[in-house]
Chains A and B, each alone.
Chain A
Amino acid sequence: MSDTRYTTFRTSLRTAAIMVLFSLVFTSMMAFTYRATRPAIQASELEEQMRLIDEVLPRDDYDNALLEDFVLLGRTPALGIDGGRVWRARMEGEPVALVIEAVAPNGYGGRIALVNAVRDDGRVSGVRVTSHRETPGLGDYIDPKKDRNKIAPWIGQFAGISWVDTDPARWAVRKDGGSFDARTGATISARAVVGAVGRATAWAAAHRQALFAAPAGSTLQGETQ
């Protein structure tokens, strides 16, 4: 009897040791791959961010290292975010534009994340949707890559706005009495994006000076809470 129990114990111990060994070997393989690929992953993430910002703000309009000149935000209900970044574009040290991350909470498929570039005079320079779950082929025209109209994609109308007005009534689709077009049958997606862009633009106008005054990499304090 004692013999059997002894071997049972030994077998379990041996099995456990093998399991630990396997875990160690494969975890260290994963750790090694992680370390080896990290620089490339970071580089491509920065490149991806830059490519996105290029779509909302022409690179010729500013001369600072935009990705390094940012202010961190805490919970900001006006932008629909629990934390995010605002990048500051400057030309020869003078403020040019703010690139803001914002979220529209009321899309047809939930949250729609976007970036909005607001020029120093309060005009919108461009908007891009960065992630969304709108219905494929119906509401996903808010993303220019999915928009069937390649010549004048829906999201392009933000870049063409010439007026400066932060009145929320104007930041709405035409159906609701606002100034923006929406595609028939998929108004909810457009309504969500237009509202979020309007709120972000108004927020940028209200906090422009504090945003440009804050040191790079710091967290914006005060009124945003």
Chain B
Amino acid sequence: MMTRQQFRDVAWGGLWKQNPGLAQLLGLCPILAVSTSVVNAVSLGLATVLVMAVANLAVASLRNFIPYEIRIPVFILIIAALVTMVDLAFNAYMHSLYLVLGIFIPLIVTNCIVLARVEAYAAKNGPLASTVDGLMMGIGLVWVLALLGGVRELIGAGTLLSGIDMIIPGAEALNVFGEDYPGFLLAILPPGAFFALGCLIAAYNAINARLAARARREPPPAAPDQEAGETAAAAS
């Protein structure tokens, strides 16, 4: 079983401290490829969350049966099988979304963050804690993807949530800058992904540095501010 403190640590690690997109910088290939719009980014992010949670659960449950020497091939086998099943399920039950994301779903197999969490966490912890870890790491990836997709879509095309009608029929995209916005192509092309991610990481580091500085000014023993304290530990 998990204690509250463990849960908080795992959640905080996935969402902020060890965020896959901003701190671990794992799985950049899909991040850069699909973050051209919010809908694309979030959809692939959610598929990744599903795969990470299930892969972590499967590996944590089977960890005592997997010999150490062949753990990596077995992990990859498990992840590849799960991704294949998610791919087929998407194709069968959400076909219009599959037409957009179809080429990216197999990329989840090569997403190092899935294998990294399986190897670093699920192979050493129980099923419940591992599932929570997979979920939190995945959600950490989703919010970064959503932000990145939003920034690129807004600057590149002047819209938000374009393509939402593929998921919710009848829903309409927001035209933030009006119909006449000329668009800024660079933001949608691959270099735009690097620029936007670089700015996000810079902001992330700046926030961490500010939190650490505040934690130094107010010594933890007086008022143990949980979040600031942990970030300070991470920064040091």
> A residues touching B (Cβ–Cβ < 8 Å)?
14-15, 18-19, 22-23, 26-27, 29-30, 33-34, 37, 40-41, 44-45, 47-48, 135-138, 148
Contact = CB atoms under 8 A, between A and B. Distances in A.
Interface string B87-104: 011011101000100000
A136 B36 CA distance: 10
Interface of B is mostly: helix
B77 interface: yes
Given A22-B74, A26-B77, A41 B85 contact: no
Given A48-B95, A135-B185, A15 B69 contact: yes
Chain B interface extent, by class: 20 to 34
A66 B80 CA distance: 38
A136 B162 CA distance: 14
Contact of A29 (B85, B95, B99): B85
Nearest to B67: A15
B157 interface: yes
Contacts of A30: 81, 84-85
Contact of A136 (B84, B95, B185): B185
B88 A37 contact: yes
Nearest to B163: A145
Contacts of B77: 22-23, 26
A15 B68 CA distance: 9
A138 B81 contact: no
Contacts of B84: 30, 33
B67 to A, nearest CB: 5
Interface in B93-117: 93, 95, 99
A124 to B, nearest CB: 25
A138 B185 contact: yes
Contacts of B89: 33, 37
A33 B54 CA distance: 16
Contacts of A44: 91-92, 95
A27 B74 CA distance: 12
A137 B185 contact: yes
A53 to B, nearest CB: 16
Given A29-B85, A30-B85, A137-B156, 6 more contacts: A18-B67, A19-B73, A26-B81, A30-B81, A33-B84, A41-B88
B211 interface: no
Contact of B85 (A14, A33, A137, A138): A33
Contacts of A18: 65-67, 70, 74
Given A33-B84, A37-B88, A44-B91, A136 B189 contact: yes
B126 interface: no
B200 interface: no
15 contacts: A18-B70, A22-B74, A30-B81, A30-B85, A33-B84, A37-B88, A41-B88, A41-B92, A44-B91, A48-B99, A135-B185, A135-B189, A137-B157, A137-B185, A137-B188
B93 A40 contact: yes
B28 interface: no
A29 B91 contact: no
B33 interface: no
A167 B78 CA distance: 57
A148 B81 CA distance: 40
Contacts of A41: 88, 91-92, 95
A117 B183 CA distance: 33
A30 B93 CA distance: 17
A153 to B, nearest CB: 15
B88 A33 contact: yes
Indicate the member of A33, A40, A45, A135 with the most B CB atoms within 10 Å: A33
Given A15-B70, A26-B77, A29-B85, A40 B92 contact: yes
